[in-house]
Amino acid sequence: MRKIHGKRNQVFLFLCLYLVLSTEILSLFQCLNRIGVLTAWGIALILVSAYLYRTTHFHFSLKTKVLSLLKAGQALSLSERIVFFVLLVYVVLLGVAALIRPPFNFDSMTYHLAKCAYWIQNESVAPYAVMNDRQLVFAPFAEYAMTHLMLLTDSDVLVNFVQFAAYLLSGFLVYSICRFWDLPKQLSMLGSGIFWLIPMAILQSGTTQNDLVCTFFVLSAVYFGLKLTRKYGFTDLLAFSIAVACGMLTKGTFYFFVAPFLVWFGVKYLHSYRQGIFLIVCVPVLTVTLINAPFWSRNIVLYGHPLSGGKTFLTEYPDFVVERNRQKTLSFGNMVSVFSKNMYLHAQLPSSLSVADPLPFVLTLHRWIGVKTDDPAINPFGAQYYPVMIHEDVSGNIVSFYLLLLSMLLFFFVQSRKKVALYMTCLWTGYFLYAALTTYQPWATRLDLPFFALSVPIIVYVWQNCRFIKGKGAAGLLLLLLVLAFPYERAVVQPIFSMSSREAGYFLRAPQLYPVYRGIVREVHRLGINHLGLAMHEDAWEYPLFVMLKDTPGLEIRAVRIQPYYAKLAVRHPFTYQAVLTNDPMFLKQMAPLLADFIDLGEGFYFLIFQQPQNQYYKE
């Protein structure tokens, strides 16, 4: 059974490799369109079907599967069956919500899905003139997958399933890591349940963010890396390499959480596979280069650095804004400050307050280490603290935090600690590395998701091996987690019933903008506009424009007020536009002599209609 799970994980990672390569090849020939994507995945379907047919492990029998599930269920007690059934209901409801809910997360509207819409319009992932540089500089793997789904379905109805798939698969990977340590199946299933009930995992399972995708690649890299420490297998090595490469192409936090494990695995491989070390080094290096080179090369041409963007030197804005970190000294005190405040976000109960007060312990700790809690070098985004709400951006993982804290205390009573000591060392080293090299951010809770996912096997291992527990009460623990996770589950499912239409659902996070965007659509159709320029602030909601104006014949939308360093992109892509949407009164004043008319749409938005078509780009 473990071998079958491993094979399936490998196949999924190979498909991730195919996704990246097909995207880059189609973009190279400006064929990133529905026909190109359908052709690419038609070829993939033929190849995968042939592989599955020729591999005995994949011969599918519905009767065999049903009997296998029934046999696994018979090994569970009645209480365990009931609890796992409730967990299944939770997961299925999240899948239904991911299908029915439109994407409405703030980051999705401003850059995650906005850049997908621009790629589809341009039929390429090549750089384009933007108002929001996060559309270009951020690692794009999750958006590659979303773009393919949008092209295949001619809609965005499946885009939430990128994160939901990562949510499901990450739970299976937690199970696989637990089984790697020879934990019983029931407790390994408990591990999957604990992950699936992490508050941030629940909340992000129906969004188009990328923290769950990053978590999936972190767990994949660790799982296949662990397998290679016991036995060499080329397909495991290739799967490990793809996981590392795709993780790097997904999010900057991947580097921090995986780096210590890579050091551990590297030393172990060097000791165990001295004769084959050349292959073990070359395969990951070549895979990482193959997958990331196109993205890096675009950034080098545009910014002069593979991971840089805009006026600031970035690795993953706003997560690691080095320009704002220049005053931060790499010191023990600063690391402890960031670490303690990040952990504090997870330790507090959800609140609807607009201001969150720090725990006295956090204040006392800062006095001990001689660091100010409001030091701008450590708090570059202004707010010292942020209320932890039930929200996909800022929700804490309070239950997971205290489970991990309890497991750390009980770890010293575990009889076979050495088996997982290196794993736990790498887990905490990765987080301290993250705290040392980054500043405090009020939305750090979502960035910590890979850390809490990696901690779940430790929690299960301690639960199984601690002399005080010895694996008892697994069903009770999972039932408690189900009860505590209910508010988060409700927060994901409830929007299905609160939105009046799918179109209105895009604005659940900013309902005041819906009438404004309806007004934009009305004016575009009334005036027969099909070339619309944008001159808005950086965090403007661009994606809903593409959705609501999708049926406009010959529609083309481009930013016409851009940051200076994108001027060379504007020269490469000339654009003649008839009207401009702006939310900047100063731009309205600047354009006044050229206007035939302008319409105040409300909420600070203006629709500018020019006397003659314009083709000029404006710099901020």
465 and 537 in a common domain: no
More reliable by pLDDT, 468 or 576: 576
Mean pLDDT along residues 279-293: 96
Question: Mean of the pLDDT values across residues 489-502?
Answer: 92
Say which residue the tokens 């992000």 belong to.
Answer: 204
Residue 137 and residue 303 in contact, taking contact as beta carbons nearer than 8 Å = yes
Give the 3-state DSSP-derived string for 222-284, with helices as H, strands as E and coil as C: HHHHHHHHHCCCHHHHHHHHHHHHHHHCCCCHHHHHHHHHHHHHHHHHHHHCCCCHHHHHHHH
Give the rounded distance of the alpha carbon of 602 from its chain centre. 33
Whether 465 and 362 share a structural domain: yes
pLDDT at position 75 is: 67
DSSP H or E run through 299: helix 277-303
Residues 336 and 466 in one domain: yes
Model pLDDT for residues 511-524, shown as the tens digit of each residue: 999 999 999 999 99
pLDDT-derived band of residue 406, with 50, 70 and 90 as boundaries?
A: very high
Q: What per-residue confidence (pLDDT) applies to 318?
A: 38
Residues 6+ apart with CB under 8 A from 48: 11, 15
Average pLDDT score over residue span 1-9: 58
Q: Is residue 562 in a domain?
A: yes
> Looking at the predicted structure, is the pLDDT value of residue 347 above 90?
no
Which amino acid is residue 494, in one-letter code? Answer: Q
Task: Compute CA 436 distance to the chain's CA centroid, rounded to the nearest angstrom.
Answer: 22
Query: What is the Cα–Cα distance from 81 to 337, expressed in whole angstroms?
Result: 44
pLDDT digits (tens, 9 = 90+) for 600-609: 999 999 999 9
198-226, pLDDT tens digit by residue? Answer: 999 999 999 999 999 999 999 999 999 99
**Which helix (H) or strand (E) covers residue 610, if one does?**
strand 605-614
pLDDT at position 540: 92
pLDDT of residue 123: 97
| pLDDT value for 516 | 96
> Both 560 and 463 in a single domain?
no
Asked whether residue 336 falls in the same domain as residue 465, the answer is yes
607 part of a folded domain: yes
Q: How high does pLDDT run on average in the chain?
A: 87
As a whole number of Å, the end-to-end CA separation of the chain is 58
Tell me if residue 138 falls in helix, strand or coil.
coil
The predicted model gives 581-586 an average pLDDT of 94
Q: Are residues 337 and 437 in the same domain?
A: yes
- What pLDDT is stored for residue 78 in this prediction? 80
Q: Which residue has the higher pLDDT, 348 or 491?
A: 491
Q: How many domains does the chain have?
A: 2
CB 224 within 8 A of CB 216: no
Whether residue 560 is found in the same domain as residue 610: yes
Do the beta carbons of residue 369 and residue 334 sit within 8 Å?
no
Would you place residue 276 in the very low, low, confident or very high pLDDT band (cuts 50, 70, 90)? Answer: confident
Taking alpha carbons only, the member of 463, 404, 454, 460 closest to residue 226 is: 454
Residues 549 and 602 in one domain: yes
Average the pLDDT over each of 41-55, 159-173, 175-189, 333-347 and give the range with the smallest value.
41-55
Report the alpha-carbon distance of residue 616 to residue 560 in Å, rounded: 7
Strand partners, 255: none
Share of the chain above pLDDT 90, in %: 62
Grade residue 306 by pLDDT with cuts at 50, 70 and 90.
Answer: confident
Give 311's pLDDT tier (boundaries 50, 70, 90): very low
Question: So what's the pLDDT on residue 312?
Answer: 45
Q: How confident is the model at residue 247 (pLDDT cuts 50, 70, 90)?
A: very high
Q: Based on the number of CB atoms within 10 Å of its own CB, is 359 exposed (0-12), middle (13-18) or buried (19 or more)?
A: middle
Per-residue pLDDT tens digits for 356-398: 555 677 878 888 888 887 777 777 766 555 566 889 988 889 9
Give residue for tokens 């309205």. 588
* pLDDT of amino acid 323: 42
Q: Look at residue 471 in the predicted model and tell me its pLDDT.
A: 61
For the ranges 360-374, 499-513, 550-564, 576-590, the lowest mean pLDDT is seen at 360-374
State whether 453 and 530 are in the same domain. Answer: no
User: Amino acid identity, residue 99?
Assistant: L
> How far, in Å, CA of 31 to CA of 120, rounded?
10
- Return the percentage of the chain with pLDDT > 70, whole number: 88
Could you read off the pLDDT of 417-434 as tens digits, one per residue? 888 999 999 999 999 999
In a domain, 484, yes or no: no
pLDDT number for residue 126: 95
Residues 354, 451, single domain; the answer is yes
d(CA 587, CA 616): 14
One-letter amino acid at 30 equals Q
Whether 327 has a pLDDT exceeding 70, the answer reads no
**Based on the domain organization, do 385 and 460 belong to the same domain?**
yes
What span, in angstroms and rounded, lies between the C-alpha atoms of 36 and 39?
A: 5
The reply to whether 458 falls in a domain is yes
Residue 258 has a pLDDT of 98
Least confident of 15-19, 25-29, 108-112, 370-374: 370-374
Helix (H, G, I), strand (E, B) or coil at 219: helix
Q: How sure is the predictor about 570, in pLDDT bands with cuts at 50, 70 and 90?
A: confident
Cα 595 to Cα 607: distance, rounded to the nearest angstrom: 10
pLDDT value of residue 367: 84
Written as one string, the DSSP assignment of 25-45 is HHHHTT--SHHHHHHHHHHHH
Which three-class secondary structure state does DSSP give residue 532? Answer: strand
- Report if residue 75 sits inside a domain: no
For residue 365, the model assigns a pLDDT of 85
Question: 3-state class of 19 per DSSP?
Answer: helix
Determine contact, residues 389/395, Cβ cutoff 8 Å.
yes
Q: Is the pLDDT of residue 585 over 50?
A: yes
In a domain, 384, yes or no: yes
In a domain, 192, yes or no: no
| Selected residue with higher pLDDT from 301 and 485 | 485
Token output for 164: 């939901």
Mean pLDDT, residues 232-252 taken together: 95
Do residue 454 and residue 516 come from a single domain? no
Segment 83-117, tens digit of pLDDT = 889 999 999 999 999 999 999 999 999 999 999 99
Which range of residues forms the domain containing residue 536?
Answer: 510-619
Residue 9 inside a domain? The answer is: no
- DSSP H stretches of helix in 101-210: 106-107, 113-122, 134-137, 141-153, 161-180, 185-196, 199-204
Name which of 104-118, 284-298, 453-467, 556-570 the model is least confident about.
556-570
> What is residue 71's predicted lDDT score, i.e. its pLDDT?
63
pLDDT digits (tens, 9 = 90+) for 151-190: 999 999 999 999 999 999 999 999 999 999 999 888 899 9
Binning pLDDT at 50, 70 and 90, where does residue 69 land? low
